[in-house]
Amino acid sequence: MSRTYIQRVSKELSHTIYYRFTCEQCGKDSNWLPYTITGTGICEGGYIKVNPTGEVSDETKRQVIEEAQKKLSNNMKTCRKATDKDVYRFSEKCQHCRKSQSWQGKGGLMISIGKGLGVAFVGEVSIMLLRYFFKLPISNNVHGIITVASVSIAMIVEILSRLSIKIRTKDVKNKKKPEINWNNWKF
């Protein structure tokens, strides 16, 4: 077993759940809609173990898959905990009348934290790619400013959009909740 320089090894695992709702505005059924939850395992670039053929070692592959499984499991649990508090990530409007539902207005802060973390993660990966592949000289200060700005914007947009749904649906008399099919996930 030798070591060689590898850019990065990653693996994304996903699980699709389904939800449906009866529209609070027009009373029509949405039918089952898919929502996919993911978890990504990453082994950062560096000198890592490879097989004699130069491929990433089975050990590294296993670690990356294990990390992806753990993250997917955590993300599923977070989604479940949130729905237990009537906070839903599904933002699909009614396909018939294009109106938002009252249950989509809750949990702005909670969901925005998740979105912020997602943006921070995507941002880190993008900056890494720009630095290594395009050799762009991005200083740590610029890096920090880009991350803080993009995370703040994503969080504010999420909070405002939930707040706006809350205001628009505050007079809904027949408030409902979506029905969720966890698609055989073992919590």
**What is the DSSP code (8-state) at residue 22?**
B
26 binds Zn ion (CB under 5 A): yes
Specify the amino acid at residue 11. Answer: K
| Residue-wise DSSP of 63-79 | HHHHHHHHHHHHHHHHH
- Residue 61 or 177: which CB sits closer to Zn ion? 177
Q: Is 25 in the site for Zn ion (CB under 5 A)?
A: yes
Quote the least distance from Cβ 43 to Zn ion, whole Å.
Answer: 46
Whole-number Å distance between alpha carbons of 57 and 50 = 4
**From the list 3, 70, 77, 96, which residue makes contact with Zn ion (rule: CB under 5 A)?**
96
Residues 97-136 that bind Zn ion (CB under 5 A): 97
One-letter amino acid for residue 143 of the chain? H
For Zn ion, the binding residue among 6, 23, 68, 111 (CB under 5 A) is 23
Q: With respect to Zn ion, which residue has the nearer C-beta, 27 or 118? A: 27
Other residues' Cβ atoms within 10 Å of the Cβ of residue 112: 21
CB 20 to Zn ion: min, Å: 13
| Shorter beta-carbon distance to Zn ion: residue 49 or 166 | 166
> Does 51 sit near Zn ion (CB under 5 A)?
no
Among 19-27, 72-80, 119-127, 134-142, the segment contacting Zn ion (CB under 5 A): 19-27
Q: Give the C-alpha separation, 76 to 88, whole Å.
A: 12
> Is residue 95 at the binding interface for Zn ion, with CB under 5 A as the rule?
no
Nearest to 38 by CA among 76, 5, 1, 67: 76
Residue 155, number of CB atoms within 10 A of its CB: 20
Binding site for Zn ion (CB under 5 A): 23, 25-26, 94, 96-97
